[in-house]
Homo-oligomer: A and B are copies of this chain.
Amino acid sequence: MDIHEKIAGEITIADNPGETIRKWREEFQVSQLELARYLSISPSVISDYESGRRKSPGVLSIKKIVTALVDIDQKRGGQVIRRYSSGMPSDALIDISDYNHDISLERVIRMINGTNYCNVGLNRYIRGYTIVDGIKAILSFSYSEYSKLYGWSSQRIIFFTEVKMGRSPMIAIRVHPLKPAAVVYIQPDRIDELAIKLAEIENIPLIVTDLDAFSISRIMASLK
Contacts and interface: CB of A to CB of B under 8 A. Distances in A.
Contacts of A128: none
- Among A5, A6, A17, chain B packs the most CB atoms within 10 A around the CB of A5
Interface in A60-94: 60-63, 66, 83, 86
Given A1-B1, A139-B198, A56 B66 contact: no
**A interface residue count range (under 10 / 10 to 19 / 20 to 34 / 35 or more):** 35 or more
Contacts of A61: 56
A135 B195 CA distance: 12
A2 B6 contact: no
A9 B17 contact: no
A143 B194 CA distance: 17
Interface stretch (A35-43, A165-173, A181-189): A165-173
A113 to B, nearest CB: 28
B17 A13 contact: no
Interface in A103-151: 135, 138-139, 143-144, 146
Contact of A58 (B13, B57, B138, B202): B57
A206 interface: no
A174 B56 contact: no
A188 to B, nearest CB: 15
B12 A62 contact: yes
11 contacts: A2-B13, A4-B13, A8-B12, A9-B9, A12-B12, A12-B62, A13-B66, A59-B59, A83-B203, A139-B198, A139-B201
